[in-house]
Amino acid sequence: MPPRGADDDYVGENEAIPEEEEDFLDDDDSGDEFQNLTPLPRLGRPGLRAKASAPAAQAKGKDSTKPKGKAKDAGYSWEATYKRSWDNVHEDESGSLEGAVRQMIDGNKRKRVMRDVAPVQRGIIRHLVLLIDLSSSMLEKDMRPNRFELTLQYAKEFVNEYFDQNPIGQLSIVGTREGIAERIAQMGGNTIDHVSALSNKRKLEPRGEPSLQNALEMARSSLAHLPASNSREILAIFGSLTTCDPGNIHDTIATLQKDQIRVSMVSLAAEVKILKEVCTKTGGSFSVALNEGHFRDCLFELLPPPAVEGPKRKAGGQADGIEASSVVQGVDLLQMAFPLRLPAHSEPTLCACHSKLKGSGYLCPRCGSKVCDVPTDCPVCGITIVMSTHLARSYHHLFPVSNWVAVGWEKVDEKSCPRCFSCAIPFPEKPGHANAAMNGAAAGKNKFNGTATSAAATSAAKKSTGAAKDDSGLAPSSRYACLKCGNHFCLECDAFVHENLHVCPGCC
C-alpha cells in the first residue's frame, strides 16, 4: 500500500463540509431507504442551477393548481357513444333483477319487430354473394369462441333464414385467404348444399392475408351477367384491418358501380376507410360489430330485400334521359315458368344442370329440360323456374304486416278481451281493479286496526296507470293491437307474426 501523502489529510471536526459533498458523507440510517434518497449532484455550476431551479419549482406549483383543459375533459372520440348500461338495471321491491332483465329482453324484441312497413318496390328475385374473410385475423378470440367459429355459426343461420325469407332468391359463398379468393358454394337455391359447405371446417381453415379486390372480382363475375330485374348484392364479413390486392381497388369499385352491384359489409375489428368507401359508393350499408349479439343483428338486418331505386329525376319532374310519361306508364314484366314435378320412382334421366342420372326433378315447361332443384334459371332457355308457393311466400315483402301499437291501461275496459287473440294466454289484470279489491279488503281491516294504506302502494298505482308505452316501445298492459282488426295480442305473438308468419290472424 503506498504511503499517504501530505495532501491526503482527513477533514477536521471543526472544518465546514461543502454542501455538494454533504450528501455523500451522511451516515444516517434513514438515508438508506429508497424513498429518502437525495438526487445525485449534476455537472455544472451549482449556483446557476439553484437559481434556475427555484422559478421552475414555482412554475410547476402554479401549473399543478390549474384546472384540466377542455380537451381532456371531453374524452376520446370513441367514448362519445359510451353508455353505462348497468345504471339502467334497477331492483324491484323484492330485491330481484329478474324483472329488469326481462324488460330489457322484451325491449330488444320489440325493437326488432318495429320496422319500416311503407309499400315500396323491392327486388324479390335476389342474387346474393356471401363473402367471408378466412384470413388469420379470424382466429382472434375477442368474440367467443373466436371470430371464425362464430362467423360460421351465424353464416349457417343466415343461409337458412335467407332462403326462408327469400324463397325465389339464390345464394353463393366466396372466401378469401392467402391473397386469393376461393369459391365455397356455387350460385343456387339449395339450402342443404350451402350449409354442408359451411360445415366443413378443415377446408375453411383461416390462414394468410385476405384480398378484398380478388374476392369482389370473383363475386362480380357471378352477378354481372344477370338481368336488370334481379337484384345483385354482395354481403362481406371482414375481420382483417388490411387487404393484399394485386391492383387498384378503386377500379373494381367503379366496375361494381357500373354493374349496379350493391356491397354491404360487417366488420369485426374496426371501421376501415376502404371498406366503408366500397359500401358508400355502391349504395350498401357498413357496420362494425360490437359484440356477439350486435354481430348477429347487423347480419340479419340484411335479410329483407332492398328497395329498388328509381331513375334520378330532374327539377322539372323528368328522369335523366327518360320522359316523364314513359316513367309513369312503364311497367316491367318478367316471365316465369311453373315446372312439372317428377316423382322419385320415375325413370332416371340426365339433368341439364349436373348431367347426372336422377329420377326425381322438375321439367321446364318451355324447353322440357330437367333440373334438380327450384328456384333456378333454366340452363337451356334461361327462363326463371319457380314454384307457385315460392312466389306466394315472397309477397310479404311487398305487402308487409303493419306495425301493431302498444295499448295503455286507459284503453283497457271491461269489453276488452282478457286473453291474447292468437295464443289465448291471459293478460295481466288492470291495476284499478286489483287495487279496488285490495283497498276493499284493507278498508275492512282499517275499521278495526285503524291503519292506512301505504304511500308506496299509492305511488305504484299511479306509476302503473301512466303512459301507454315507455322509451323501449313496451306496453304496460302487455297488449298490442292491430290497427285493422282491433284485436289484442301479446308480445310473443307480435314477434312471431312479424318475423315468421307475416299474416295477421285477426285479419284473415
Query: What's the pLDDT score for residue 310?
Result: 59
> End of a domain among 273, 300, 327?
300
Query: What's the pLDDT score for residue 79?
Result: 52
**Who contacts 240 (Cβ-Cβ below 8 Å, separation ≥6)?**
133, 135, 137, 138, 209, 210, 269
Is the same domain home to 196 and 154?
yes
Cα angle 496, 500, 506; round to 5: 60
Residue 259 lies in a domain: yes
Q: How many secondary structure helices (H) and strands (E) does the chain include?
A: 15, 17
**At 346, phi and psi to the nearest 5?**
-75, 165
Is the same domain home to 378 and 410?
no
Is the same domain home to 420 and 480?
yes
Is the same domain home to 371 and 413?
no
Residue 321 lies in a domain: no
Residue 5 lies in a domain: no
Is the same domain home to 140 and 250?
yes
Cα separation of 134 and 178, whole Å?
A: 9
Query: What's the pLDDT score for residue 31?
Result: 46
Cα separation of 97 and 287, whole Å?
A: 32
Is the same domain home to 248 and 393?
no
Query: What's the pLDDT score for residue 2?
Result: 55
How many CA atoms within 13 Å lie on the side-chain side of 141?
1
Residue 228 lies in a domain: yes
**At 349, phi and psi to the nearest 5?**
-135, 165
Chain position carrying cell 334421366: 349
Query: What's the pLDDT score for residue 89?
Result: 66
Is the same domain home to 420 and 384?
no
Three cell numbers written together for 182: 376461393
**Who contacts 256 (Cβ-Cβ below 8 Å, separation ≥6)?**
216, 220, 234, 263, 278, 281, 282
Is the same domain home to 141 and 280?
yes
Three cell numbers written together for 224: 354481372
Question: Strand pairing partners for 132?
Answer: 175, 237
Number of domain units in the chain: 3
Residue 227 lies in a domain: yes
Is the same domain home to 147 and 183?
yes
Cα separation of 103 and 83, whole Å?
A: 18
Which residues constitute the domain of residue 435?
405-450+457-501
Q: What is the CA radius of gyration of the chain?
A: 36
Residue 445 lies in a domain: yes
Is the same domain home to 142 and 277?
yes
Is the same domain home to 250 and 286?
yes
Residue 496 lies in a domain: yes
Query: What's the pLDDT score for residue 274?
Result: 95
Cα separation of 19 and 365, whole Å?
A: 109
Query: What's the pLDDT score for residue 498?
Result: 85
Each residue's pLDDT tens digit, 12-29 = 444 555 555 544 444 445
Low-confidence ranges of the chain (pLDDT < 70): 1-90, 92-93, 99-101, 103-104, 106-121, 309-332, 432-472
Is the same domain home to 356 and 489?
no
How far are the Cα atoms of 100, 109, 469 from residue 90, in angstroms, in the given order? 6, 20, 18
Residue 49 lies in a domain: no
